[in-house]
A and B are shown apart, each in its own frame.
Chain A
């Protein structure tokens, strides 16, 4: 026990004397979480509060194009700028001056009205209410209409998708209203009277089943703090493996091999110190989310779950990260091997773990691989507590996996070291 204490104290001294290492461990994750949350929150605000300029080409000049124009103008996201022609709009978008151009085709209003009339008259005739069914039969077919959307090639898929959905929804609404209007004209002589209620009957409400009585919706901070705290915890791999490679290069590892101290005790000292670092990092991240974020215009971190359980998750995630760091530090022969590999591997684990792209959105093959990532187990455990407010027993599967991962990687490190030294 005394040797473990001595090793732990030595690791503490080595860490506190390494300013660069401390900066990587504490400042980088803080910068990362602030930057990512600011960008995500800013993007959200831009979409929500700032109007995006969009070119508008109206070749229809009818009621439908007027309705779409009004609908889009009234939306909080788009600012319509009229362009003189489709070619001009297309050219401006392709040059990157605008992200989007909307071209309303010729005769959209008249053709839609004719199509709706045709359909409504057909229905009325079936019910025996149409005065002159012959007119319906004689109509020439009306070609489908196409609203053309020109997107800047650099436009992100998510933005494109949301704009398309928005316009689609608006057109569906205009079409529905045209149908109501056609029916009204057929059934009511006085068009000023409201025969149908055209307001949407169905709406939706977002509810998060978080086990609490309130209906709080998770914000960008709720997702970012656990995700990037975990990323920071796993970033321990880097300074830890570098620390071990340095010891090999300094010759101190060779000296320790000739001393009556086991490799497990040496690793134990490193584990305790870096575990304390992981918990400290996590505590700082929580404090930043709760106290700093609201003061710099970012959403406050709402901790609905038990803070103690959060630290238990951080403890096991820290162990998993340390196990990986010990293994990498044991295998690597130089900093040139450990540093780039460690950094890249953490990024791969984060990607697989669902830090950037949610696991459910990954291809099924990648989802299977993701389930093998310790960062995925950690992230799930954090989300269970942060967003779902579950109790400790429900975390046991993820915590067990993290602990087993630590045991497995540390054992492999010890066995590898033994084998390497049996030359």
Chain B
């Protein structure tokens, strides 16, 4: 589904590559976790795959579509759940979703039905006509997710989809994502919640300094490291305990 070949990214004026010679293949219907400390290159990689920034060199394709030749077609088959609440606070949940849905060419009753269906599943149907500015963090996260999946993307990029939400909202979001995955959606997920990643992902890669250090199924990674009880132990063993502060 996703083929990444020797992908590099170096920002203007930067001394080091944010993503350095990264090669990776993600299969259809996988939930692939990209784990790494701050500044490891996770967001840069997702930004390149979602057409937000251009690679310095290398190539990738999603569902056979090369980003250089099919940029617009790529946008139709991917969905991005950004870390920020990318919503209009003065519009209602329904108005936000109607607009973002229509940018994918969905319209009329079909769009309305889809919005209501997702709102109901994520427990927000009663708040459909309330302004986003009145929503709690957990509610905004759920709307943020719906805005990215209305067009039923083949590949969904999830950048910290559960950050800052309560346990209830987190469970609802993860359950919904699992259902989507069951229908065939491939997911690339980044998070600092390693326990969540261990349960949620079918495969993970730990990246640091723009390179993949290790990858595999979570349980297999834990088993392959002596004294590791969980993915967090593996993560610390690989990336170390030093703070990663950047300014």
Contacts and interface: CB of A to CB of B under 8 A. Distances in A.
Given A14-B91, A257-B51, A251 B105 contact: no
Interface string B176-212: 0000000000000000000000000000000000000
A256 B101 CA distance: 11
Interface stretch (A2-10, A139-147, A322-330): A2-10
Interface stretch (A258-266, A271-279, A391-399): A258-266
A250 B87 contact: yes
Interface stretch (B78-86, B165-173, B216-224, B239-247): B78-86
B38 interface: no
B52 A421 contact: yes
Interface stretch (B58-66, B92-100, B116-124): B92-100
Contacts of A260: 72, 75-76, 103-105
A251 B54 contact: no
A14 B90 CA distance: 7
Contact of A6 (B72, B84, B102, B131): B102
Nearest to A266: B103
Contact of A259 (B11, B85, B100): B100
Interface residues of A, number: 25
B90 A18 contact: yes
Contacts of B98: 6
A254 interface: yes
Contacts of B51: 257-258
B107 interface: yes
B142 to A, nearest CB: 15
A255 interface: yes
A257 B87 contact: no
Contacts of B88: 10, 14, 247, 250, 252
B54 A422 contact: yes
B135 to A, nearest CB: 14
Q: Is the interface of A mostly helix, strand, loop or mixed?
A: helix
B103 A6 contact: yes
Interface of A: 2-3, 6-7, 9-10, 13-14, 17-18, 247, 250-252, 254-261, 421-423
Contacts of B86: 250-252, 254-255
Count class of interface residues, chain B: 20 to 34
B52 A13 contact: no
Contacts of B95: 10, 13
A49 to B, nearest CB: 50
Nearest to B71: A260
Contacts of A252: 86-88
Contacts of A259: 75, 100, 103-104
Contacts of A18: 90
Of A18, A256, A260, most buried by chain B (CB within 10 Å of CB) is A260
B162 interface: no
Of B86, B87, B89, B99, most buried by chain A (CB within 10 Å of CB) is B99
A257 B85 contact: no
Contacts of A7: 99
Contact of A17 (B53, B72, B91, B104): B91
A14 B53 CA distance: 28
A6 B99 contact: yes
B103 A254 contact: no
B7 interface: no
A269 to B, nearest CB: 10
A14 B96 CA distance: 11
A7 to B, nearest CB: 8
Contacts of B103: 3, 6, 256, 259-261
A12 to B, nearest CB: 11
Given A254-B52, A258-B50, A2 B102 contact: yes
A284 B206 CA distance: 62
A157 B84 CA distance: 58
A19 to B, nearest CB: 10
A7 B103 CA distance: 8
Contacts of A257: 51-52
12 contacts: A2-B107, A3-B105, A6-B102, A7-B99, A9-B99, A14-B90, A17-B90, A250-B86, A257-B51, A258-B52, A258-B78, A423-B12
